[in-house]
Amino acid sequence: MILLSWNSRGLGNPRRVRVLADLVREEDTKVLFLQETKLHARAAEKLKFRLGFENCLAVSSEGRSGGLALYWKKQVKVVIKNYSKSHIHASIHDAIEEGETWFLTGIYGQPEAHRRHETWDLIRSLKLPQDQGWLLIGDFNEVLSNHEKSGGRESSDRQMQAFQAVVDECELMDLGFQGNPFTWCNNRETDQCISERLDRCLASLKWKAFFPMAKVIHGTTTYSDHTPIKSHVHFASVQRRGKRPFRFEAMWVEDSSCQEVIKEAWLDSAGERRMEGVMKQISRCGEKSERWNKNSFGHVQKNLKKAKQKLQNVQDADPKSLNSEAIKNARS
The CATH code of the domain that includes 17 is 3.60.10.10
Residues 286 and 186 grouped into a single domain: no
- Alpha-carbon torsion, ordered 271, 276, 280, 286, to 10 deg: 140
Residues 53 and 156 grouped into a single domain: yes
222-235 pLDDT, tens digit each:
778 899 999 988 64
pLDDT attached to residue 12: 86
pLDDT attached to residue 272: 57
pLDDT attached to residue 274: 56
Q: Which domain holds residue 269?
A: 250-296
User: How does the average pLDDT of the chain come out, rounded?
Assistant: 87
Residues 108 and 215 grouped into a single domain: yes
Q: Taking residues 19-39, what's their average pLDDT?
A: 92
Is 86 domain-assigned?
Answer: yes
Residues 178 and 277 grouped into a single domain: no
pLDDT attached to residue 236: 41
pLDDT attached to residue 120: 98
Is 326 domain-assigned?
Answer: no
**3-class secondary structure, 197:** coil
Residues 181 and 274 grouped into a single domain: no
Q: Taking residues 185-190, what's their average pLDDT?
A: 84
Residues 271 and 134 grouped into a single domain: no
Amino acid, single-letter form, for residue 180? N
Residues 143 and 289 grouped into a single domain: no
Is 213 domain-assigned?
Answer: yes
Residues 129 and 269 grouped into a single domain: no
pLDDT attached to residue 45: 96
Give the integer Cα–Cα distance in Å for 53 and 17: 14
pLDDT attached to residue 7: 95
Partner residues linked to 204 by β-bridges: 172
- Listed in sequence order, the residues at least 6 apart from 245 whose beta carbon sits closer than 8 Å to its beta carbon are none
Helices (H), 187-299: 205-210, 257-268, 274-296
- Distances from the Cα of 71 to the Cαs of 59, 76, 108, 129, 232, in angstroms? 12, 10, 16, 26, 16
- Listed in sequence order, the residues at least 6 apart from 310 whose beta carbon sits closer than 8 Å to its beta carbon are 330
**201 vs 13, residue with greater confidence:** 201
Residue 191, φ and ψ in degrees, nearest 5: -75, -15
pLDDT greater than 60 at residue 323: yes
Q: Nearest-CA neighbor of 199 among 221, 177, 215?
A: 177
Q: Taking residues 142-164, what's their average pLDDT?
A: 94
Question: What is the count of structural domains for the chain?
Answer: 2
Q: Which pairs with CB-CB distance under 8 Å and at least 24 residues apart come from 297-306? A: 297/249, 297/251, 297/252, 300/249, 300/251
Residues 83 and 206 grouped into a single domain: yes
Q: Specify the pTM.
A: 0.74
pLDDT greater than 80 at residue 139: yes
Is 134 domain-assigned?
Answer: yes
pLDDT attached to residue 15: 86
**115 vs 261, residue with greater confidence:** 115
Residue 139, φ and ψ in degrees, nearest 5: -100, 105
Give the integer Cα–Cα distance in Å for 249 and 178: 33
68-112 pLDDT, tens digit each:
999 999 989 999 999 999 999 999 987 666 678 999 999 999 999
Is 330 domain-assigned?
Answer: no
276-295 pLDDT, tens digit each:
566 667 777 888 888 887 77
Residues 163 and 228 grouped into a single domain: yes
pLDDT attached to residue 235: 43
Residues 88 and 172 grouped into a single domain: yes
